[in-house]
Amino acid sequence: GAVVSQHPSWVICKSGTSVKIECRSLDFQATTMFWYRQFPKQSLMLMATSNEGSKATYEQGVEKDKFLINHASLTLSTLTVTSAHPEDSSFYICSAESSGGFLDEQFFGPGTRLTVL
Amino acid sequence: AQSVTQLDSHVSVSEGTPVLLRCNYSSSYSPSLFWYVQHPNKGLQLLLKYTSAATLVKGINGFEAEFKKSETSFHLTKPSAHMSDAAEYFCVGGYGQNFVFGPGTRLSVLP
């Protein structure tokens, strides 16, 4: 149980285009989902926290207009990288917190590798 | 401020020898603590978690960790390393909804 999927697993796009990444909780309801980015050989950095039906909370230094997050249902959150540039190339990982599950535990998706040319 | 420190950025062991990956946390209270493993270009897999029950926590693949409040530590150990253990390991502190990641330790296993 507690499986989180991400789609796509990897994407290559041209500079200036927008890319949408989906994060789904497959077998549980997630009231809260988290988006992280990970640069090569570095740790994960939290970008934003999204709660179903409300606006996402962004970490300091993360541009909310560039990284649009939508959490429209209890099983789906999307991250849209708008007007992507090469410096946005990174590994994006989402996680979900079960609304009825164990406190303080997040279930992580497999990640999405974004390469902006 | 809440922080998680992993003292070694890289640990190298021979196959069959013990593994020790160190983790210290900084907090005014004891957080939930987790160890995750990440293989290249893969997501995170939970190895084990501490949630104020038993101080010695057993996880998957033979890993275990001991919570020591007096030392604010949560070191990860395994008696005998296997080649498949080579990966990046993250110690994570859970403070409510806030997950604080350590910088990671890369484990290499030599044949």
* B97 vs A93, A97, A108: nearest CB: A97
**How far off is chain A from B3, nearest CA to CA, in Å?**
13
For residues A9-22, give the mean pLDDT: 96
Region A4-12: mean pLDDT is 94
In the predicted model, is pLDDT for residue A64 greater than 70?
A: yes
What proportions of chain B, in percent to the nearest 5, are helix, strand and coil?
Answer: 10, 55, 35
- Candidates A6, A53, A9, A60; CA nearest to A31 is A53
CA–CA separation, B23 and A94 (whole Å)? 24
Asked if A110's CB is within 8 angstroms of B42's CB, the reply is yes
Establish if A59 touches chain B: CB-CB under 8 angstroms: no
Name the average pLDDT for chain B: 90
- Beta strands at B10-14 and B105-110: parallel, antiparallel or unpaired: parallel
For position A99, what pLDDT does the model report? 60
CA distance B74 to A8: 35
Closest Cα in chain A, distance from residue B41 (Å)? 8
Whether B53 shows a pLDDT value over 80: the answer reads no
Q: Find the residue in B nearest to A35 (Cα).
A: B99
**Residue range A23-48, pLDDT digits in tens:** 999 988 888 899 999 988 788 899 99
Chain B residues in contact with A105 (beta carbon < 8 A): 32, 34, 46, 49, 94
Listed in sequence order, the residues at least 6 apart from B30 whose beta carbon sits closer than 8 Å to its beta carbon are: B52, B67, B69
What tokens does A69 get?
């997050």
| pLDDT tens track for B56-80 | 999 999 999 999 989 999 999 999 9
Measure in Å the smallest separation between the Cα of A67 and chain B Cα atoms. 20
Res A100 pLDDT > 60: no
Q: Is the peptide bond before A40 cis (omega within 30 degrees of 0)?
A: no
Closest to B81 measured CA to CA, from B65, B99, B62:
B62
